[in-house]
């Protein structure tokens, strides 16, 4: 539950930052960005996998670049639902979704690295089998 709340706040921050960077994406306030992040998260959870499967041949031919188009469409769908969140035009949606994805990835990896803590060295050695060579050139 805590991880989902952190991801939601990270997506909200990414939407707010993108609205400051781009004139084609406007957010009326923090509460609208919070709602936009929730709607975008729901759309990404339910519709994105279906759209990726339906457009798999195009995605393979474009080497995965068509995923940006899918993300832009989902961003435009979210802006259609929320009155305080506006995406002006298709290219604003494409570049906005790219910026949101980059910011979301950076912040998400930063927060996940901070939460790992002291037990990291123990987890890194998990599954390692140590072998020793005996006098008779065998392994034990």
- Domain residue spans of the chain: 2-116
The CA angle 55-60-64, to the nearest 5 degrees, is 85
Calpha distance 8→35 (Å, rounded): 10
Report pTM.
0.74
Confidence of residue 94 (pLDDT cuts 50, 70, 90): very high
Distance of CA 102 to the CA centre of its chain: 8
Model confidence at 95, pLDDT cuts 50, 70, 90, reads very high
Q: Tell whether the model's pLDDT for residue 52 goes beyond 90.
A: yes
């Amino acid at each position: 539950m805590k991880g989902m709340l952190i991801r939601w706040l990270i997506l909200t921050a990414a939407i707010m930052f993108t609205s400051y960077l781009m004139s084609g994406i406007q957010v009326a306030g923090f509460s609208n960005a919070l709602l936009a992040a929730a709607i975008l998260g729901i759309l990404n959870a339910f519709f994105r996998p279906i759209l990726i499967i339906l457009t798999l041949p195009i995605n393979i031919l474009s080497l995965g670049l068509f995923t940006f188009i899918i993300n832009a469409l989902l961003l435009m769908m979210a802006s259609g639902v929320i009155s305080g969140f506006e995406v002006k035009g298709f290219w604003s949606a494409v570049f906005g979704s790219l910026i949101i994805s980059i910011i979301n990835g950076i912040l998400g990896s930063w927060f996940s690295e901070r939460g790992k803590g002291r037990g990291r060295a123990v987890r890194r050695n998990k599954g390692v089998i140590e072998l020793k060579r005996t006098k008779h050139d065998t392994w034990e």
